[in-house]
């Protein structure tokens, strides 16, 4: 699957910075896998009906974990955020696609919002304010400060 940015680059335009959705999207899946593993280990400690309940619970939680793993993977696969020498490009989705593009000379300000966990794990939300073009918030991207710097440094 070709990257979206490679398909839309104009002559003379080059990519300066690329980032993606942060791995924190996998967090629900990671927790569910830990619970499923815990239930599986716990089922070995019991005999009979309680062991069966733990095994069924582990299976159900593993199914939920698998769903969240695939969902997080697909979100990260289908989300692209790039800065070129001419514009900022953000794309979400595969079949139903949403894109945002803003010329760098139309960018008025770039705001970064990070929670405490976001500061520790290096993710956050970036809001791009444009002159006459409105405002766009890109949520939960990796390395938001580096992304902001790639937009504001010229």
CA dist., res. 33 & res. 27, Å (int):
10
Does residue 126 register a pLDDT over 90?
Answer: yes
pLDDT at position 31: 97
For residues 92 and 109, what is the distance between their CA atoms, to the nearest angstrom?
Answer: 22
- 3-class SS of residue 90: strand
Backbone φ/ψ region at 122: left (φ over 0), alpha (ψ -120 to 50), beta:
left
Q: Would you state the pLDDT for residue 133?
A: 66
Domain ranges across the chain? 15-20+83-152, 26-74
The predicted-structure confidence for 60-91, as pLDDT tens digits, reads as follows 999 999 999 999 999 999 999 999 999 999 99
pLDDT, tens only, 49-60: 899 999 999 999
pLDDT higher than 90, residue 1: no
User: What is the Cα Rg of the chain in Å?
Assistant: 21
**What is the per-residue pLDDT across 135-152, written as a single tens digit (0 to 9) for each?**
999 999 999 999 999 999
Q: Is the pLDDT of residue 11 over 90?
A: yes
Query: pTM above 0.85?
Result: no
């Amino acid at each position: 699957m070709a990257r979206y940015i490679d398909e839309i680059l104009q002559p003379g335009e080059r990519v300066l910075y690329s980032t993606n959705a942060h791995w924190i999207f996998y967090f629900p899946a990671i927790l569910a896998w830990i619970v499923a593993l815990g239930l599986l280990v716990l089922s070995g400690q019991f005999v009979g009906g309680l062991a069966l309940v733990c095994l069924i619970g582990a299976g159900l939680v593993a199914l939920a974990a698998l769903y969240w793993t695939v969902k997080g993977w697909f979100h990260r696969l289908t989300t692209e955020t790039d800065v070129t020498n001419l514009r900022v490009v953000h794309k979400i989705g595969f079949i139903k696609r949403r894109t945002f593009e803003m010329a760098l000379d139309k960018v008025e300000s770039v705001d970064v919002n990070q929670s405490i966990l976001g500061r520790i794990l290096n993710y956050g939300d970036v809001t791009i304010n444009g002159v006459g073009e409105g405002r766009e918030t890109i949520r939960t991207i990796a390395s938001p400060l580096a992304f902001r710097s790639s937009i504001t440094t010229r």
